[in-house]
Amino acid sequence: MMNFKGKLAHKFAESPLLQLRLPAWRSRLMALVILGCFGVLLGRSFYLQILNTDFLQEKGESRYRRDLEVSASRGRIADRNGDVLAISTPMKSVWAIPADARLTPQQLRELATLLELDGKELSRKLASEKSFIFLQRQIPPDVADKVAALKLPGIGQNKEYRRYYPTGEMTAHMVGFTGVDDKGLEGVELAYQSQLLGRAGSRSVIKDRRGQIVEDVGSIKPPQDGKDIRLALDAKIQYLAYSQLKQAIIDNKAKAGGAVVIDAKTGEILALANWPTYNPNNREHLSGAQLRNRAVTDTFEPGSTLKPFTIALALESGKVRFDTIINCAPGKLTIGNATISDAHPHGALTVAQVIQKSSNVGAAKIAATMTPQQMGEMFDAAGFGQISRLGFPGEVGGRVRPWKHWRPIEQATMSYGHGISVSLMQLARAYSVFARDGDLIPLTLTRSDALPLTGTPVFSQQTAREVRAMLEMAVQAGGTAPKAQIPGYRVAGKTGTAHKLEGGQYANKYVSSFVGFAPASDPRLIVAIMIDEPGGLKHFGGDVAGPVFAGVMGGALRTLGIPPDAPLQVAQTPAAKEKL
> What confidence score (pLDDT) does residue 216 get?
55
Residue 176, in any domain of the structure: yes
Residue 509, in any domain of the structure: yes
CA distances from 565 to 152, 364, 438, 486, 520 (A): 72, 34, 22, 11, 8
> Which amino acid, residue 299?
T
Number of structural domains (the chain) is: 2
Whether residue 506 sits in one domain with residue 378? yes
Q: Which helix (H) or strand (E) holds 148?
A: helix 141-149
Whether residue 159 sits in one domain with residue 300? no
Q: What is the CATH number of the domain that holds 86?
A: 3.90.1310.10
pTM: 0.81
pLDDT tens, position by position, 120-130: 888 888 888 78
**Pair 365, 333: CB distance under 8 Å:** yes
> What confidence score (pLDDT) does residue 55 get?
58
pLDDT tens, position by position, 343-372: 888 899 999 999 999 999 999 999 999 999
Question: CA 350, CA 323: separation in Å to the nearest integer?
Answer: 5
Q: Residue 149: pLDDT above 50?
A: yes
Whether residue 178 sits in one domain with residue 86? yes
Whether residue 301 sits in one domain with residue 396? yes
Nearest to 160 by CA among 225, 78, 238: 225
**Pair 527, 553: CB distance under 8 Å:** yes
Q: How confident is the model at residue 59 (pLDDT cuts 50, 70, 90)?
A: low
Sign of the dihedral defined by the CA atoms of residues 415, 420, 421, 425, in that order: negative
> What's phi and psi for 332, nearest 5 deg?
-140, 150
Sign of the dihedral defined by the CA atoms of residues 456, 459, 460, 466, in that order: negative
Q: Residue 273, SS3?
A: strand
pLDDT tens, position by position, 157-204: 878 788 899 999 999 999 999 987 788 999 999 999 999 987 777 666
Question: CA 226, CA 571: separation in Å to the nearest integer?
Answer: 53
Whether residue 518 sits in one domain with residue 449? yes
Residue 260, in any domain of the structure: yes
Sign of the dihedral defined by the CA atoms of residues 99, 101, 105, 110, in that order: negative
Strand-pair category, 269-275 with 256-263:
antiparallel
Q: Residue 223, SS3?
A: coil
Whether residue 246 sits in one domain with residue 169? no
Provide the strand spans (E) within 97-236: 133-139, 155-164, 201-207, 213-221, 229-230
Q: What is the CATH number of the domain that holds 367?
A: 3.40.710.10
> What confidence score (pLDDT) does residue 418 get?
93
> What confidence score (pLDDT) does residue 167 get?
95
Q: How confident is the model at residue 208 (pLDDT cuts 50, 70, 90)?
A: low
Write the DSSP assignment of 475-540 as a string of letters.
HSTTSS-GGG-BTTB--EEEEEEEEEEETTEEEEEEEEEEEEEE-TTS--EEEEEEEES--SS--S
Whether residue 304 sits in one domain with residue 222? no
Whether residue 211 sits in one domain with residue 327? no
pLDDT tens, position by position, 244-277: 999 999 999 999 999 999 999 999 999 999 999 9
Report the alpha-carbon angle 442-294-247, nearest 5: 110
15 is catalytic: no
Domain boundary among 191, 213, 230: 230
Whether residue 205 sits in one domain with residue 190? yes
Query: Mean pLDDT in the chain?
Result: 86
Q: Residue 54: pLDDT above 80?
A: no
87 or 105: which carries more pLDDT confidence?
A: 87
> What confidence score (pLDDT) does residue 574 get?
41
Residue 284, in any domain of the structure: no
Residue 371, in any domain of the structure: yes
Whether residue 547 sits in one domain with residue 485? yes
Per the residue annotation, which of 73, 88, 93, 304 is the catalytic one? 304
Whether residue 427 sits in one domain with residue 332? yes
> What confidence score (pLDDT) does residue 133 get?
84
Residue 543, in any domain of the structure: yes
- Using the 8-state DSSP alphabet, how is residue 336 labeled? T
Query: What is the mean pLDDT of the segment spanning 410-422?
Result: 94
Question: CA 575, CA 544: separation in Å to the nearest integer?
Answer: 11
Question: CA 224, CA 226: separation in Å to the nearest integer?
Answer: 7
Provide the strand spans (E) within 319-459: 325-327, 332-335, 338-341, 348-350, 439-440, 456-457
Residue 142, in any domain of the structure: yes
How many Cβ atoms are within 10 Å of 397's Cβ, its own excluded? 17
Report the alpha-carbon angle 196-202-208, nearest 5: 145
Q: How confident is the model at residue 572 (pLDDT cuts 50, 70, 90)?
A: very low
Range of the domain at 424: 235-279+293-560
Residue 529, in any domain of the structure: yes
- Using the 8-state DSSP alphabet, how is residue 115 labeled? H
Question: CA 570, CA 89: separation in Å to the nearest integer?
Answer: 49
Whether residue 242 sits in one domain with residue 216? no
